Each structure stands twice: as C-alpha cells, then as structure tokens.
Chains A and B, each alone.
Chain A
Amino acid sequence: MWQIFHKLGSPKWFFGIASTLMPWLLWVGLALMVAGIGWGLAFAPQDYLQGNSYRIIFIHVPSAFLAQSVYMMMAVAGLVTLVWRMKLADVFVKAVAPVGAVLTFLALFTGAVWGKPTWGTWWIWDARLTSMLILLFLYFGVIALGAAISDEKSSARAVAVLVLVGVVNIPIIKYSVEWWNTLHQPATFKLTEKPSMPAEMWVPLLLSVLGLYLIFGWLTCLRMQTEILVREGRTRWVKELVQAGGN
C-alpha cells in the first residue's frame, strides 16, 4: 500500500504512466465526444418545449459537470498536499486550475446563449448561473494566489488551503437549486434516479460527458508533464529524457 503511495508521489513514475495513457485518453475521448455531439446535434429528437436550442445541452452539461468536479478534485489534491506534502498533488492543482476556469467560463457562456431563445434574455440572475459565476471567481482566486507566491512550497500549501476553503462553495452550488426556485431547470443528472429525458437524448449526453472527462484527463496529463519538467529540470531523469529527444 505505502509503496504504491510512494510511487504515486514520484514525478518520474507519473511522467511515464502519463505518456502511455495520453494517446488513449485523447483518441477515445475525441471519439466519444464526436459520437455524442454528432448524435445529439443531428439525430436526437427535438425537445417539445425548447425546440432545437436544447441541443446546446450536449456541451453545456459536460462543461458544467466537469467544471464542478474539477474543483472537487482540486480540493482532494489540496488535502493531499497539506497532509502528505505530496508534490504531485500540487502539480495537479496548478495544472488543472486554468482548465477548470475555461470549463466554468464555457458553462456560463453556453448557459447564457441558451438562455436567449429559452428565456428571452442573455443573463438571468438565477441561483445556478450565479453560483457558476462564483465558481469562476474561485478559480481566478486560486490561479492568482498561485501566481503571486513565488516560493514553490508555500505556494502549494497556500493554494491548498484556499481550495479547501472554497470547496464550501460547491455544496451551495449543488443545493442552490432547492434553495431558490427559479427559472433554471433542476439538475439534469441524478445518479440515483432514472433521468426523465428519453434515451435518445441522455445517451448522447452521457457520451459527451464521458468524452469530455477523457479529454480533460489528456489535458491534465499534458499540463502536469509540463509542470513536472519545469520543476524537475535539474534532475538526472529529466536530463536523460530531454537528451533522448522527447517532445
């Protein structure tokens, strides 16, 4: 058990694993996304209430879903940073924060554009849009704090504390739907019950969610590798790797 843990903390080991995983993550992820989006855009039946504008769901929900779970992952990694001082956990947080911010922005953007034909306005201050906006602010805070502290170790731990404090916001996002009954639809995915959508709608949605997860995994591996290369530039294995002509 401890050996695995130790290995997990080793940047060199991670670098190798990431390299083998990355092509799989990328291509399977892309295939799933293309399948899900293609199906959703062209073949899924129209929504009887919203017409065709609902087809935005096939990117809106994956983005929003991932944007929130990325923050949760960052919180777990932050805990690992604080408790076990594992370097790789901080590498993860630093690599993933901009990705999370982009996904949150995309969820907001697609939500706003979806709102125009559905509600007749670009922006509604409803609970979920607002808490998504707060999530975006949280991501910006994490990125800004990480950039402001130059010392690697203090930066890692300070960011970890901030992420853990911010994670209090995630349940507020989740339950805000019940707190304020507003125009927005209730949460689309509930793992415990059968979705109320017909299968031709939620299967492509599930595909694109999975696809985006895998692509996120690829992006994470890529960005973590970069971060590791920067930090471990002086070690022998990186020098050997660079000399071997890696790219």
Chain B
Amino acid sequence: MAFDSFGAFIVMEGHGPYVWACYFMFFLLMGALALWSLRQRRSVFAQQRRRMNSAPARDQSPAGASFTRIEPSHD
C-alpha cells in the first residue's frame, strides 16, 4: 500500500481531484458506451421480433381491412 490511510488515498497529496476526475470520466464514458451498445442490440432484436410477428399477422388479416398498422420505433 502506497498510502497510510484511506483518507490519504482519496486526497493523494492534493492530486486527488485530478486523478479521480480522470477515472470518473473513463468509467462514465466506457460504461455509457457499453450500455448504449447493449441497448442498441436489444432494441434491434425487439424490432426484428416485432417485424416477424407482424408479418404473419398481415397474411392472415382479412382482405379489405381498412386499418394500417403503424410501427413506432422504440429507439
């Protein structure tokens, strides 16, 4: 351990704010990137599933049905 106490670890002889700001930014951005990518994939899966579910439904729908199905995107 390079530091005497937890407090010293946080303060880092005055350099704490700089060090911790960097680590905060790093984990914030990398985490956001990972979450964004995960959500993107999930939404693509959901979209495909919706499209597949709606495709057979369109086949079975009686001819002359007067409504159109609008798919809002949930991005």
Contacts and interface: CB of A to CB of B under 8 A. Distances in A.
B41 A56 contact: no
A99 B52 contact: no
Given A52-B15, A102-B29, A222 B37 contact: yes
Contacts of B34: 219, 222
A105 B37 contact: no
Chain B's interface size range is: 20 to 34
Contacts of A46: 2
A222 B38 contact: yes
A106 B29 contact: yes
A92 B62 CA distance: 44
21 contacts: A41-B19, A42-B2, A46-B2, A52-B12, A53-B18, A63-B26, A102-B33, A106-B25, A106-B29, A113-B18, A113-B21, A113-B22, A114-B18, A114-B22, A116-B18, A226-B40, A233-B48, A239-B52, A242-B49, A242-B52, A246-B45
Interface of A: 37, 41-46, 51-53, 55-56, 59-60, 63, 98-99, 102, 105-106, 109-110, 113-114, 116-117, 215, 219, 222-223, 225-226, 229-230, 233, 238-239, 242-243, 246-247
